[in-house]
Amino acid sequence: MTTVILLRHGRSTANTGGVLAGWTPGVELDETGQAQARAVGERLAKVPLAAVVSSPLERCRQTAAAVLAGRDLEPATDDRLGEARYGDWTGRPLEELAKEPLWKVVQQHPSAAVFPGPEGEGLAHTQARAVAAVREWNARLGPDAVWLACSHGDVIKAVLADALGLHLDQFQRIVVDPASLSVVSYTETRPFVARINDTGGDVAALLPPPGEGRRGTDSDAVVGGGAGATA
């Protein structure tokens, strides 16, 4: 059973500015986001991670760096964990975008949404590449690994929808706040979603059992919701 911790980046300057950042370069964590990143790094300090893999965008790399602090791990990046490519919507105010006809499609029928412009992609493609990345890293790291993927709200929601067996059209029902943790354990038969939008509390369930250096593979090893899990 391979367990991935899906971490959304901390609050960014685009979040506070109400702008759809997408792949805009130079969007960084604001002061609150930096504090959130440090706090989540401290929460996870005792969790043995096989890898920390980040979106290549600065706000995710900054958040991942806080998790890597004090660990003997090299950071890794994967473009497939990058933000959805919003095309011509990139950099525009959310208040303005909410008036576009496509906005209702994104909210109500996202599997059909394709963002405008030569750089735009469909949300179905965003989901496919992100799920492929998670599953490839699972295979690379092995069945006993616990690893962390630092990504973006829509990307994490899309991965969670896949793990929950939900059609992509339902992914807008999932909430993923800045610096939140969501946890999925993958087995040969199915994924188990253990946490969604966890923003505080105990992470002891992510630690190996006492006396074991690696996670077991029996059903009792499936990560529970824990006292800090929220939905």
- Rounded Cα distance, 79 and 59, in Å: 14
Q: Give the residue numbers annotated as catalytic, written as ranges.
A: 9, 83
- Rounded Cα distance, 3 and 183, in Å: 7
CB-CB contact of 54 with 61 (8 Å): yes
CB-CB contact of 110 with 123 (8 Å): yes
* Residue the block writes with tokens 């003997």: 72
| Residue 195, both tokens | 């946490």
| Residue 166, both tokens | 């939900």
| Helices and strands (DSSP H and E) totals, the chain | 7, 6
Under 8 Å CB-to-CB from 32, ≥6 apart: which residues?
Answer: 10, 11, 16
